[in-house]
């Protein structure tokens, strides 16, 4: 029997939890395995035991991040059921899909992303390098009450490591095929006194690439450089007042728009890129944040201020072909074509919240927030005569030139409470009001547009704890994703706001003296004005449209099991059925899956850690990720077959140092992370963006 067949695979998936922590040593006296680690999260803006939170949450601790070899957003998303992460377009661009709701280029995400309390409001921010991370929490289902608009599908809470009381440091070097080199280092400790602590860390990546451009004979997926430096300063002004300052800066230069022309129009025909213009994205990001916590006794007041600046300059082929393969040129018009975008984003954010103590029958949190975004975007297409990206600056060759300036003011206020109706029965209620003011100016025609969007987002949850090791809950919650403007003068000038109602029931349990955890949920979502994305290459336009009504139903099961002799098993299962119920513009597509929907996803894996000598341990890990059929567009004509990805890791660990051999996608599964059929790309061919092939290498870590 094929080990990848669905019946066997799903039976294993019922057993486990993705992203589990490392196995602890066995109890020497009894020979029994140690209990699973107690996990504490801040998903609801206060520290709580994971198993007490009535939300489906996947947590990746610092140890789990190291054991799985997580270095980027894509690395952890692939372990979360009913969630996918697709690379596409420019170097920083990506599409995340969670519970059937999809990311949209140049618009709001269905997922609130927060780093150290600061919202990452731009699409370019989620596709990030992850280093010096303490914890990643992935909350599923609408989280608008506490996380605001755009948390319609869930939220990701990323917490970086805090400064330490004693001087400490670390360094890590990774080298892999394609001459991929990653270097990460950090130093932390007291500064002058134990009341002032610092942390400084940095990450650097360079990669020659592994996907060959068959026309240029170079690598399409190269990274010249991608580096980030982060500094943090914590100050204890008094026992009650704490200050936290953080700054970060990074630059990058790497490949973009590395699409392959798929002449067969078959999403399961995997071909390498063959464009003649070498694609490149360059840019930088800068962040400054300030946070204070002041404990008044009856509540703690927290203020978080953030400023972010993002720039990206993208240049690439537009027909994704070459003069030899397509002598007729772009759309048969007799010439080759290129494209480019210049993006400049500034984001200011401010949140003030008051959080009650965690004790007592009534616990509450309330706050207000403000977010301002300024985005300048210039999009051009040009006639390609020699394959040089500098042609975009020649007015005689530019055939499309669009410039827009967007401003967004977003105001929010929220409150949520937990009240113990009975010793084991808790009512959670909350509501948030969000108001968006959007304006866009066409810098070419001077056309000015304004629009406002607003919504109330209520939530009600009943949770019951039959004992300390079990929680069952039922939730009704809502979500809201703001509408907005497409580029001036495109076929759909504006897109509507998206609304969602979620009905969910779930459980969290631990068994066998906390050696086994089993969590699960079933949900049903009703979505109005579902937002989706497509490209019209003929006018160099990226367009967002609306599907009138969508229904999403699904199941998630996650578990983790610690066994004797150093073994730990983990797996998960996600079922996500996202179906178009009403679409007036294309009634023939009613009943189809929504774009980018993957109906099944699951992971099974095992870790083993044991002593090799008195001072030396060895570690082994294997996991298999499964993704079901992927429906690329609303007509469901292009469907990618199910895929399996096998990842392996083997290492030695000795106190302050460790070394690992690793491989990702070791069976070299071929797939597209994005596929645009010609009917939705505006081109006369289908195009696809290949996933990375087999990658392998060695990691070496040192702790001071």
pLDDT, residue 145, reads: 92
Tell me: pLDDT of 95 over 90.
no
H or E, element range at 195? strand 193-207
pLDDT, residue 683, reads: 85
Q: What average pLDDT does the segment 129-146 reach?
A: 95
Q: How far is it, in rounded angstroms, from Cα 132 to Cα 71?
A: 10
Q: How far is it, in rounded angstroms, from Cα 119 to Cα 104?
A: 17
Tell me: pLDDT of 315 over 90.
yes
pLDDT, residue 30, reads: 41
Tell me: pLDDT of 14 over 90.
no
Q: What is the mean pLDDT of the chain?
A: 91
Those residues with Cβ within 8 angstroms of residue 19's Cβ, 6 or more apart along the chain or in another chain: 58, 59, 60, 64, 68, 76, 79, 80, 570
DSSP assignment of 498-525 equals EEEEEEEEEEEEEETTTTEEEEEEEEEE
pLDDT, residue 20, reads: 38
Partners of residue 205 on adjacent β-strands: 182, 226
Rounded alpha-carbon distances, angstroms, from residue 335 to 91, 192, 277: 26, 65, 13
pLDDT tier, 125 (very low <50, low <70, confident <90, very high otherwise): confident
Reduced to 3 states (helix: H, G, I; strand: E, B; else coil), residue 20 is coil
pLDDT, residue 87, reads: 85
Q: Can you read off the two tokens belonging to residue 324?
A: 């030899």
pLDDT, residue 26, reads: 42
The CA-based angle 150-152-157, given to 5 degrees, is 70
pLDDT, residue 108, reads: 83
Residue that has been written with the tokens 């897109």 in this structure? 495
pLDDT, residue 16, reads: 35
Pairing state of beta strands 154-160 and 168-176?
Answer: unpaired
pLDDT digit string, tens, across residues 152-162: 999 999 999 99
What b/e string do you get for 306-319 counting C-beta neighbours within 10 Å, with b at 16 or more?
Answer: bbbebbbbbbbbbb
The domain made up of 6-703 has a fold known as: Maltoporin; Chain A (2.40.170)
pTM of the entire predicted model: 0.91
pLDDT digit string, tens, across residues 348-357: 999 999 999 9
pLDDT digit string, tens, across residues 21-31: 333 434 433 44
pLDDT tier, 682 (very low <50, low <70, confident <90, very high otherwise): confident
Q: Residues, the chain, total?
A: 704
Tell me: pLDDT of 651 over 60.
yes
Those residues with Cβ within 8 angstroms of residue 164's Cβ, 6 or more apart along the chain or in another chain: 188, 189, 197, 199
Q: How far is it, in rounded angstroms, from Cα 83 to Cα 85?
A: 7
Q: How far is it, in rounded angstroms, from Cα 234 to Cα 160?
A: 13
Q: What average pLDDT does the segment 665-691 reach?
A: 92
pLDDT tier, 89 (very low <50, low <70, confident <90, very high otherwise): confident
How many CA atoms, within 13 angstroms, populate the side-chain half-sphere of residue 533?
A: 27
pLDDT digit string, tens, across residues 448-458: 999 999 999 99
pLDDT digit string, tens, across residues 582-600: 999 889 999 999 999 999 9
pLDDT digit string, tens, across residues 382-424: 999 999 999 999 999 999 998 999 999 999 999 999 999 999 9
Pairing state of beta strands 643-654 and 617-627?
Answer: antiparallel
pLDDT tier, 538 (very low <50, low <70, confident <90, very high otherwise): low
Q: What percent of the chain has pLDDT over 90?
A: 81
pLDDT tier, 8 (very low <50, low <70, confident <90, very high otherwise): very low
Rounded alpha-carbon distances, angstroms, from residue 8 to 4, 13, 109, 554: 7, 9, 35, 20
pLDDT, residue 11, reads: 36
Q: What average pLDDT does the segment 496-507 reach?
A: 96
Tell me: pLDDT of 534 over 80.
no
Q: What average pLDDT does the segment 44-62 reach?
A: 93
Q: What average pLDDT does the segment 610-637 reach?
A: 94
pLDDT, residue 679, reads: 81
Q: Pick the range with the lowest mean pLDDT from 86-90, 228-232, 382-386, 494-498.
A: 86-90
Q: What average pLDDT does the segment 235-256 reach?
A: 96
Domain spans in the chain, listed from the N-terminal domain onward: 6-703
Q: What average pLDDT does the segment 101-110 reach?
A: 82
Tell me: pLDDT of 425 over 90.
yes
Q: What average pLDDT does the segment 647-652 reach?
A: 98
Q: What average pLDDT does the segment 207-236 reach?
A: 97
pLDDT tier, 32 (very low <50, low <70, confident <90, very high otherwise): low
């Amino acid at each position: 029997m094929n080990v990848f067949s669905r019946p066997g695979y799903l039976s294993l998936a019922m057993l486990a939890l993705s992203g589990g922590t490392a196995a602890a040593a066995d109890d020497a006296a009894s020979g029994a395995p140690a209990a699973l680690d107690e996990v504490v999260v801040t998903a609801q803006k206060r520290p709580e035991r994971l198993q007490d939170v009535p939300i489906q949450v996947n947590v990746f601790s610092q140890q789990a991040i190291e054991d799985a070899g997580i270095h980027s957003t894509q690395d952890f998303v692939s372990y979360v059921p009913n969630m996918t992460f697709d690379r596409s377009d420019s170097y920083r661009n990506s599409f995340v899909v969670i519970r059937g709701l999809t990311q949209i280029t140049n618009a709001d995400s269905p997922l609130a992303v927060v780093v150290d309390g600061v919202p990452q409001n731009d699409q370019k921010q989620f596709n990030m390098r992850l280093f010096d991370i303490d914890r990643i929490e992935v909350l599923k289902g609408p989280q608008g009450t506490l996380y605001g608009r755009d948390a319609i599908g869930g939220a990701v809470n990323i917490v970086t490591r805090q400064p330490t009381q004693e001087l400490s440091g670390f360094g890590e070097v990774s080298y892999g095929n394609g001459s991929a080199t990653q270097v990460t280092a950090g130093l932390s400790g007291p500064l002058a006194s134990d009341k002032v602590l610092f942390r400084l860390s940095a990450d650097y990546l360079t990669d020659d690439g592994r996907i060959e451009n068959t026309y240029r004979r170079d690598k399409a997926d190269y990274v010249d450089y991608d580096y980030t430096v982060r500094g943090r300063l914590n100050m204890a002004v008094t026992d009650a007042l704490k200050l936290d300052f953080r700054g970060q800066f990074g630059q990058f230069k790497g490949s973009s728009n590395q699409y392959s022309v798929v002449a067969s129009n078959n999403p399961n025909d995997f071909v390498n890129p063959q464009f003649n213009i070498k694609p490149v994205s360059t840019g930088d990001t800068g962040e400054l944040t300030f946070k204070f916590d002041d404990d008044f006794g009856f509540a703690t007041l927290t203020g978080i201020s953030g400023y972010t600046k993002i720039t990206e300059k993208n240049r690439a082929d537009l027909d994704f072909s070459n003069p030899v393969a397509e002598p007729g040129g772009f759309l048969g018009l007799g010439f080759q074509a290129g494209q480019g975008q210049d993006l400049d984003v500034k984001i200011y954010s401010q949140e003030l919240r008051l959080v009650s103590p965690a004790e007592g029958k009534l616990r509450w949190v309330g706050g207000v927030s403000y977010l301002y975004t300024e985005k300048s975007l210039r999009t051009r297409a040009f006639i390609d005569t020699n394959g040089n990206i500098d042609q975009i600056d020649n007015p005689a060759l530019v055939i499309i030139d669009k410039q827009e300036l967007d401003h967004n003011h977003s105001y929010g206020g929220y409150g949520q409470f937990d009240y113990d109706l009975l010793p084991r029965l808790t009512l959670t209620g909350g509501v948030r009001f969000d108001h968006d003011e959007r304006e866009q100016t066409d810098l070419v025609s001077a056309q000015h547009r304004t629009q406002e969007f607003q919504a109330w987002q209520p939530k009600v949850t009943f949770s019951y704890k039959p004992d300390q090791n079990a929680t069952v809950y039922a939730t009704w919650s809502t979500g809201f994703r703001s509408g907005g403007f497409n580029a001036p003068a495109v076929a759909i000038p504006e897109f509507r706001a998206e609304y969602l109602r979620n009905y969910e029931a779930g459980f969290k349990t631990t068994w066998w003296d906390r050696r086994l955890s089993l969590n699960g949920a079933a949900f049903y979502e009703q979505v109005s004005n579902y937002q989706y994305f497509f490209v019209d290459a003929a006018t160099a336009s990226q367009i967002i449209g609306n599907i009138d009504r969508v229904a999403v139903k699904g199941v998630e099961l996650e578990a983790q099991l610690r066994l004797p002799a150093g073994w730990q098993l983990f797996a998960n299962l996600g079922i996500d059925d996202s179906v178009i119920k009403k679409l007036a513009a294309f009634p023939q597509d009613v009943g189809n899956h929504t774009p980018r929907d993957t109906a099944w996803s699951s992971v099974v894996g095992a870790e083993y850690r044991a002593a090799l000598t008195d001072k030396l341990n060895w570690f082994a890990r294997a996991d298999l990720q499964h993704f079901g059929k992927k429906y690329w567009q609303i007509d469901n004509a292009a469907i990618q077959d199910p895929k399996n990805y096998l990842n392996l890791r083997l290492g030695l660990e000795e106190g302050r140092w460790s070394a690992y051999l690793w491989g990702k996608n070791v069976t070299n599964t071929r797939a597209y992370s994005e596929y645009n059929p010609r009917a939705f790309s505006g081109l006369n061919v289908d195009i696809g963006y290949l996933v990375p092939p087999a990658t392998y290498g060695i990691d070496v870590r040192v702790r001071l």
